[in-house]
């Protein structure tokens, strides 16, 4: 018998703690067949969950927006997340918790009210949305005007979801063109977000981030709090591609890596092709906040 490698990750499904490699959902689960699922991702850094309550609150809001209902209370979910990370022993982890519509109670039924909604959670070693060398040099983003972000009145981007059709098409275009990642515009030509991150621009010392068509990222929120604490004005507003191309600096925000310098969009180069000064300060502050006991909760290993 092979030894279980818990450090590869652990999952909680139907009351059991199992290795992540053994966690799976049935092929008839609507989470799989219809992307009828919501989820959230919090990180563990140096053995502590960062801002766990913010993530749990966003998840509860997503459940409500998607009309999903699971047995677990917020306390139950918190306990499960602690259990999986403790079981894995990981001190730096990517921790995903999910609610799926589940399987129809009567086979073949097509009424979303008649499905067995269920909760599960899993963790793996910390996932960087951008590799560390790309973060150091600055991210190069591709904007493909032919692939727009799905309309927010069709799929609500504020309920974290698996509808990645637009992102995946745009990611292929970005990778084919030699870029690190993609950033999608909405139908009006305003910036929205990328697969797994929000976007900010800085112009004349003022920070701007798109107001609509985006997930309200927890890291976006933390970045805005850091700006406020440092007297930097933030405006949550429409940001056109043209405005972005005039920016002094750009950065992305994500649980998978924090505040990330962006140095190129298509053939436009920002801040001398290196991480911008304000961005670098915000990034340092973000990591310093991880030492603030008010922001973190130690995993019960
Ligand atoms: N936008 C999308 C579509 C995402 O999936 C994510 C996170 O995965 C983000 C933005 C960033 O949100 P957060 O800072 O909460 O990780």
Q: Which of 77, 95, 125 is the last residue of a domain?
A: 125
Residue 3 CA to ligand 1 centre (angstroms): 35
Residue 103 CA to ligand 1 centre (angstroms): 27
Strands 16-19 and 10-13: antiparallel
**Cα–Cα distances in Å, from 64 out to 76, 102, 117, 258, 287?**
17, 16, 13, 27, 32
Closest CA to 6 of 95, 125, 128: 125
Give the mutation target among 164, 167, 196, 257 for probing the ligand 1 site: most ligand atoms within 8 A of CB: 196
Residue 110 CA to ligand 1 centre (angstroms): 30
Q: Which residue has the tokens 């973060």?
A: 135
The pLDDT of residue 1 = 58
Report if residue 140 sits inside a domain: yes
Report if residue 24 sits inside a domain: yes
Q: What is the pTM of this model?
A: 0.98
Q: Are 179 and 39 members of one domain?
A: no
Closest CA to 43 of 125, 112, 137, 102: 125
Residue 198 CA to ligand 1 centre (angstroms): 6
Q: Are 138 and 121 members of one domain?
A: no
Q: Are 174 and 79 members of one domain?
A: no
Report if residue 185 sits inside a domain: yes
Q: Are 146 and 96 members of one domain?
A: no
Report if residue 296 sits inside a domain: no
Contact 276, 270 (CB under 8 A): yes
Residue 254 CA to ligand 1 centre (angstroms): 6
Q: In total, how many domains does the chain have?
A: 2
Q: Are 96 and 29 members of one domain?
A: yes
The pLDDT of residue 168 = 98
Q: Are 104 and 171 members of one domain?
A: no
Could you tell me the residue range of the domain that residue 285 belongs to? 132-290
Q: Read off the CATH number of the domain in which 207 is found.
A: 3.20.10.10
Report if residue 301 sits inside a domain: no
Instruction: Pick the residue whose CA is nearest to atom 8 on ligand 1.
Output: 196
Q: Which of 125, 159, 193 is the last residue of a domain?
A: 125
Ligand 1: residues within 6 Å at CB? 41, 160, 193, 196-198, 215, 217-220, 253-255
Instruction: Pick the residue whose CA is nearest to atom 4 on ligand 1.
Output: 196
CB count, 10 Å around CB of 88? 27
Q: Are 121 and 139 members of one domain?
A: no
Report if residue 299 sits inside a domain: no
Give the mutation target among 61, 160, 163 for probing the ligand 1 site: most ligand atoms within 8 A of CB: 160
Q: Which two tokens stand for residue 138?
A: 């600055």
Strand partners, 97: 40, 121
Q: Are 267 and 138 members of one domain?
A: yes
Q: Which of 80, 103, 125 is the last residue of a domain?
A: 125
Give the distance, in angstroms, between the CA of residue 132 and the centroid of all CA atoms in the same chain: 17
Q: Are 146 and 66 members of one domain?
A: no
The pLDDT of residue 224 = 98
Within the chain, strands assigned E span 10-13, 16-19, 37-45, 48-50, 93-100, 118-125, 139-142, 181-182, 193-194, 197-203, 206-210, 234-237, 249-254, 258-265, 268-269, 296-298
Q: Are 201 and 259 members of one domain?
A: yes
Contact 259, 253 (CB under 8 A): yes
Q: How would you label 154-177 residue by residue, b for 16+ Cβ within 10 Å and e otherwise? A: eebbebbbebeebbebbbebbeee
Q: Are 120 and 221 members of one domain?
A: no
- Indicate which atom in ligand 1 lies nearest the CA of residue 167: 3
Report if residue 295 sits inside a domain: no
Report if residue 119 sits inside a domain: yes
Taking 50 as the pLDDT cut, the residues of the chain under it are none
Residue 255 CA to ligand 1 centre (angstroms): 7
- Length in residues, the chain: 301
């Amino acid at each position: 018998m092979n030894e279980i490698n818990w450090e590869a990750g652990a999952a909680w499904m139907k009351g059991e703690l199992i290795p992540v490699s053994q966690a799976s959902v049935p092929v008839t689960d609507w989470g799989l067949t219809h992307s009828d699922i919501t989820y959230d991702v919090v990180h563990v850094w140096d053995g502590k969950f960062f801002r766990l309550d913010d993530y749990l609150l966003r998840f509860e809001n997503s459940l409500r927006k998607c009309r999903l209902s699971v047995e677990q209370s917020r306390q139950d979910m918190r306990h499960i997340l602690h259990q999986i990370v403790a079981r894995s022993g990981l001190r730096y982890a990517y921790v995903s918790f999910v609610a799926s519509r589940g399987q129809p109670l009567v086979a073949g039924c097509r009424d979303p009210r008649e499905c067995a909604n269920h909760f599960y959670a899993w963790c793996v070693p910390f996932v960087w949305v951008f590799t560390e060398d790309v973060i150091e040099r600055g991210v190069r983003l591709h904007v493909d005007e032919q692939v727009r972000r799905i309309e927010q009145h069709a799929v609500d981007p504020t309920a974290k979801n698996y509808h990645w059709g637009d992102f995946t098409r745009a990611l292929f275009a970005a990778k084919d063109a030699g870029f690190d990642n993609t950033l999608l515009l909405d139908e009006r030509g305003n910036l929205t977000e990328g697969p797994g991150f929000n976007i900010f621009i800085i112009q004349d010392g003022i920070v701007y981030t798109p107001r609509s068509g985006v997930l309200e990222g927890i890291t976006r929120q933390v970045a805005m709090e850091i700006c406020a604490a440092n007297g930097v004005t933030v405006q949550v507003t429409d940001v056109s591609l043209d405005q972005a191309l005039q920016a002094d600096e750009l950065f992305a925000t994500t649980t998978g890596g924090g505040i990330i310098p962006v140095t190129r969009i298509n053939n436009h180069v920002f801040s001398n092709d290196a991480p911008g000064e304000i961005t670098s300060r915000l990034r340092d502050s973000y990591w310093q906040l991880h030492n603030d006991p008010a922001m973190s909760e130690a995993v019960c290993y």
